[in-house]
Amino acid sequence: MKKVFLAGDAFSSHFFDLSLDEEELSLMSWIPIASYHVARFALIMRDNGLQGLGISPGDGLLISDYSLEPIIGRPVMVRQEGQYIIRVATEVNPVECVFSCTDDHPPLILPSENIRIVGVVSGIISQPKIHQG
């Protein structure tokens, strides 16, 4: 087992703030994960917008570098103007990107030049045990 630092809470219904400074992450709480996992950090899901994918409030999302994983049809972490959101990458092209939820929230359509996909959900831990940093 290895530990992955818990960077904060995640939402699919609205943008949230997050500090991904490596030094700050090393001081935060952590959750144990399998030693083979390549997650950079973890987030705790706080809403039910991705429940159709089996992701419930309180579940741990393991976030990996998106360049290592395919993203279309997968939950991704999107940054826009310094804030983040977790959504499913429905369509990504040079002009615009469409991100959806699995509940009643409308799709989020963002111009490609204003966003950055910073990670992909590469694992889910149901109600993880959180250890203090």
pLDDT per residue as tens digits for the range 58-99: 999 999 987 777 789 999 999 999 999 999 999 998 999 999
CATH number at residue 91: 2.10.109.10
Res 66: pLDDT: 78
Range of the domain at 76: 2-125
Q: Is residue 92 part of a domain?
A: yes
Q: How many domains does the chain have?
A: 1
User: Does this model's pTM top 0.85?
Assistant: yes
- pLDDT confidence bin for 47, thresholds 50/70/90: very high
Q: Is residue 132 part of a domain?
A: no
Return the structure tokens found at 107: 């799709």
Q: Is residue 67 part of a domain?
A: yes
Q: Is residue 133 part of a domain?
A: no
Res 75: pLDDT: 96
CB 12 within 8 Å of CB 121: no
Mean pLDDT of the chain: 92
Q: Is residue 130 part of a domain?
A: no
114 Cβ contact partners less than 8 Å away, ≥ 6 residues apart: 80, 81
